[in-house]
Structure 1
Amino acid sequence: MARAGGDIATAPIDLAIARIRAVYRSWNRDTSVAQMRSDWDAAFGGSTAPVTCVRISAGGVDGEWISPADAPEDQAILYFHGGGFRLGSVASHRDLIAQIAVASGCRVLAIDYRLAPEHRFPAALDDALAAYAWMLDRGLKPDNVALAGDSAGGNLVLSAMLALRERGLPLPVAAVLMSPWTDLAATGASYVSRAEADPIHQRPMILALAKNYLGGQGDPRDPLASPLYADLTGLPPLLIQVGDRETVLDDSVMFADIARSAGVDVSLEVWDGMIHVFQMFELPEAHQAIASIAGFLNRHLHIKDERASS
């Protein structure tokens, strides 16, 4: 995906990078996990999108329905936020989720799954599966449900579908992955080739987050923790978006190649000059990427956007 060249085009992405760095620089080795989570929510929370937000319990998991006007009741997206399984919440990702809801015309259930180190793998996966089961118990059909997630949330999207398949349970109709973290062993060449280009995420940080999630004896190549190592046969159509500046670029590229080899319908979009989960920021490319997500969701959920026809 190309972007306009020149300093004018790079200024917005530099502002996004500065926002992230400002949060990281406020932390030191004495900063508690609770403070980090609070800081992250404060820095990235809030939304002006025209949606209705209703807190609920989805199978015992705290969540929130984020709904645009006139959204159909029989279709939904289940969203898992990112944050390395350590940070992040519905609050920190509400604007991104709301933008997807508005663009697609579909309501979204976003959940606050349990985080590490208090709750290590597979607690987050268990919560994801509980929320999906709750949606089906409420009458939603798998063909009318899509999953979506960013970073660690993208990992959960894939892990949940793999777990459902292994249990012989119905899979959602499609899934959207933004900068998915598919390889907790961090073996991709992009951890080296993009190390200078990526302003935020370096391999030691990624490995530390993986250990935080898995525990000291956890296996980073467990297929339900690292979907890159799974048999991907039978997964539904996937849309993967990733930035070209990311150290975790190959988590998407390698995964897409393996998934295609397994017969999965994969659309991979590599966005030039973009950073990790760039869709969260006020960028022209973010708007374009969300429009692409909405188009993908509409094709698979068959949502009729009455606003476009009015």
Structure 2
Amino acid sequence: MASPKDDHGDTLPPFSLWHKIRMLSSLLALPFAVAVGVFRENKGRSWRRAAHIASLRFLLGKPRTVLELKLGFMVTTAELYAAWARKSGADVLTDELPEGAALHWIGPRREDRVLLFLHGGAYIFSGRVEYFDMFESFQKEYKGAVGIAMLNYSLAPEHPFPKQLRQTVFAVQHLLDRGVSPSNIIIAGDSAGGNLVLQLASQLLHPHPSLPILRPRQPHPVTDTDTSSLEFPEPFGGMLLISPWTEFNMDTPSFRRNRTRDIIPLHASRLFTDIVRQGITPTLHQHLEPGITPPGWWNGLGRVFPRVLITAGEHEGLVDQIQRMAAVIAEQVQDTTVFILPGGVHEDFIDAYASGEGERGDDYKIVVSWLSASLKL
């Protein structure tokens, strides 16, 4: 069984001894924070779920540098994928892409139906084990009839925008060149991954000459010199957005309203937005921040993505921005479904797997049903 390369863009940066000491010393208060969180916060949840949410709020809520956060949270996506494969007895199937990106297949490679997933993590964290638990749930639901490919993209701040969008274009082009029909591809993402899906949609509607352009199936990979417009004979199968990050600001009331409820405290939200803004240039601003676009920007979206599902949590800081983006999308895509989970937090659908409660929520049922209909299973 081949091992994935470890030179992808989500490779851990070097850490000093000081970073390690500071991070480890701060963890001494974690048990107390979790105990308080279980009894004071997240009413109506199981103790395991409340403990997990409290631990995330503690780890993200203290003033930390980006390096310290990565030290506390990050194992590379390639490492997690290899660990999942060993545990599951599955083959490691990794397709290398340009500029250090890779596609990790969960289950067999397929050309008939593919779910391309772009993971979240504020563009600074790699994938989490919860993603692979979710993918296994999907494979169980669909009896292996769907190919699931997770994009391993480069992370900020070491790799600023628009590198992640470039790598996403390469991933989609790779699937097309393998013979997958656009109508049989669902492009999905959570949080930053949802933002990346919308960046791709912007590039499809408004091809920017500084970025690679998608073409119909080609015998050779797409290159930077490609400047033609997208001319697929058919649209993609659909777009799935789970708690998508649509604006790099905290101007909406839901950030204040949910500041003690969501898993991402205000301090962490400020840090994340400051990091991603570093890579935004005036010429690409509209491509990279989908919630801040001029009127008419999304005209024609329904011809590219005729089906859209957006999920979010009632108690997440992003919910007002998500609903605002959902309204814009619904104007262009008649078949748009929006589900706000009562009492849900950011990425509730995925985060539930961390406490062994995946597959239980109404959001899971809606996503599974929507994917089944979109892929004609």
TM-score, length-scaled by structure 1: 0.81
Matching of residue 225 in structure 1 with residue 288 in structure 2? yes
Aligned to 1:124: 164
2:102 alignment partner, one of 62, 74, 80: 62
- Matched position secondary structure for 1:111: strand
Alignment length (residue pairs): 294
**1:300 and 2:374 are equivalent in the alignment:** yes
Could you tell me which amino acid in structure 2 is paired with residue 140 of structure 1?
V
Match of 2:115 in 1: 77
Q: Which moved more, 1:137-146 or 1:262-271?
A: 262-271
What is the alpha-carbon distance in structure 2 between the residues aligned to residue 30 and residue 180 of structure 1? 21
In 1, Cα distance between equivalents of 2:44 and 2:260:
22
Match of 1:189 among 245, 253, 261: 253
Give the greater-gyration-radius structure (CA).
2
What is the alpha-carbon distance in structure 1 between the residues aligned to residue 341 and residue 147 of structure 2?
Answer: 26
Q: How far 1:238 moved relative to its partner?
A: 1.0
Tell me how far 1:181 sits from its aligned partner: 0.3
Question: Is this contact kept in 2: 1:64–1:109, CA < 8 A?
Answer: yes
Measured after TM superposition, the shift of residue 164 of structure 1 is: 1.7
| Residues 1:109 and 2:149 aligned together | yes
Deviations 1:129-182 (A, max 9, x none): 110011001100100000011000000111112212223324522011110001
- RMSD of equivalent CA atoms: 3.3
What residue ranges of structure 1 are gaps of 5+ in the alignment?
1-5, 304-310
- Relative to 1, partners in 2 of residues 1:92 and 1:276: Cα closer, same or farther, differing over 3 Å? same
Alpha-carbon distance change, 217 to 162 in structure 1, aligned in 2, over 3 angstroms: closer
| Matching residue of 2:243 | 179
- Is 1:234 the counterpart of 2:304 in the alignment? no
- State the percentage of identical aligned residues: 23
Q: Among residues 187, 197, 214, which one is paired with 1:147 in the alignment?
A: 187
Query: Bigger CA drift: 178-187 or 223-232?
Result: 223-232
Q: TM-score, normalised by structure 2?
A: 0.68
Rounded to whole Å, the distance in 1 between the matches of 2:284 and 2:313 is: 24
Give 1:216 deviation, angstroms: 7.2
Question: What is the CA–CA distance in structure 2 between the aligned matches of 1:163 and 1:141, rounded to whole Å?
Answer: 19
Which runs of no fewer than 5 residues in structure 2 stay unpaired? Answer: 1-41, 208-228
User: Aligned match of 1:89 in 122, 127, 135?
Assistant: 127
After TM superposition, which residue ranges in structure 1, 4 or more long, deviate above 3 angstroms? Answer: 6-13, 21-34, 44-53, 216-221, 284-288
Instruction: Compare 32-41 and 135-144 and name the one that shifted more.
Output: 32-41
What is the CA-CA distance between 1:106 and the residue it aligns to?
1.5
Larger relative CO (CA 8 A, sep 6+): 1 or 2? 1
